[in-house]
Amino acid sequence: MSKTTRYLLNPQIAWVNEGEGRIRLILPGCAQNTWLEGVESLLWRSLWLGFDTEMWLAVLAEEGRTLRLMMDEWLKSGWIMVAD
């Protein structure tokens, strides 16, 4: 992931902001919903609003996670796309 890589939410994925900052993903063809909480939901909302995801680097580091791995994972799952 280069520093300039920008991501977009996949418009095919329906999702809902729920209470306490939680996000419910309604994945196509998937009977069960997926929930994003904590730093994952922060990242999701950053992408939704078009803000810099790197603002969460310190929080991610505290949780022992990296932005790169998370974005790669979400890309693989088809939840996000690389912006042109």
Q: Which two tokens stand for residue 4?
A: 């300039």
Which of these segments, 27-35, 38-46, 64-72, 74-82, binds other proteins (CB under 8 A)? 38-46
In the list 39, 67, 75, 81, the residue contacting other proteins (rule: CB under 8 A) is: 39
CA-to-CA separations, 21 to 12, 39, 56, in angstroms, rounded: 21, 10, 15
**Residue among 52, 64, 76, 84 that touches other proteins (CB under 8 A):** 52
The residue count for binding other proteins (CB under 8 A) is 15
Mode of pairing for the β-strands spanning 34-36 and 23-26? antiparallel
Asked if 10 interacts with other proteins (CB under 8 A), we say: no
